[in-house]
């Protein structure tokens, strides 16, 4: 894939898309590209994380044990957002549904980006804060629904 094509995909990815073009260029050069065959495992639930993955082409299915829910991640999607910042145990599994190419962004690379591009760090922080606000609001709605059910 051409560098400009990779940068274009990265510019639309959650969190990563808030970085300026020079930072995206650094990601495109520094991150590891991995190609997966259909049904190849990207990672298993319970594995130690090694970073987040931006899907460049193809499609990844993300699932959790005990759940029938499947989240599909196509080009421009970010799989493992929290793993961009910290090493952790993977809470879900990710498998290629078709031949797929991903770009792995390690926490070390992400930290370097945020240090070298402080304005982008502020934008990433603000985007994560908005995501957390939305999650908190959603949890509040669920709590109110459960209380309503419990009262009836």
Domain that holds residue 19: 3-151
101-145 pLDDT tens trace: 999 999 999 999 888 888 777 777 777 667 777 777 877 887 888
Pick from 25, 34, 13, 31: which is nearest to 76 by CA? 13
Instruction: Judge contact between 16 and 80, C-beta under 8 A.
Output: no
Q: How far apart are CA 57 and CA 33, in angstroms?
A: 11
pTM for this entry: 0.82
Question: Which of 5-19, 33-47, 125-139 is least confident?
Answer: 125-139
Q: What is the CATH number of the domain that holds 92?
A: 2.60.120.10
**77-106, pLDDT tens digit by residue?**
999 999 999 899 999 999 999 999 999 999
Domain tally for the chain? 1
In this model, does residue 7 exceed pLDDT 90? Answer: yes
pLDDT of residue 108: 94
Instruction: Kindly state the percentage of the chain with pLDDT values over 90.
Output: 61
């Amino acid at each position: 894939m051409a560098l400009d094509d990779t940068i274009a995909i990265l510019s639309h990815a959650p969190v990563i898309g808030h970085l300026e073009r020079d930072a995206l260029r650094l990601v495109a050069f520094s991150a590891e590209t991995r190609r997966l065959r259909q049904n190849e495992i990207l990672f298993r639930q319970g594995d130690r994380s090694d970073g987040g993955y931006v899907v460049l082409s193809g499609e990844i299915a993300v699932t959790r044990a005990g759940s029938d829910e499947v989240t599909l991640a196509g080009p421009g999607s970010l799989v493992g957002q929290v793993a961009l910042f910290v090493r952790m145990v993977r809470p879900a599994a990710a498998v290629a549904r078709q031949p797929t190419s991903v770009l792995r962004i390690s926490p070390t690379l992400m930290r370097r980006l945020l240090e070298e591009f402080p304005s982008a760090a502020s934008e990433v922080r603000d985007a994560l804060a908005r995501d957390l606000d939305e999650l908190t609001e959603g949890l509040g709605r669920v709590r109110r629904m459960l209380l309503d059910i419990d009262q009836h």
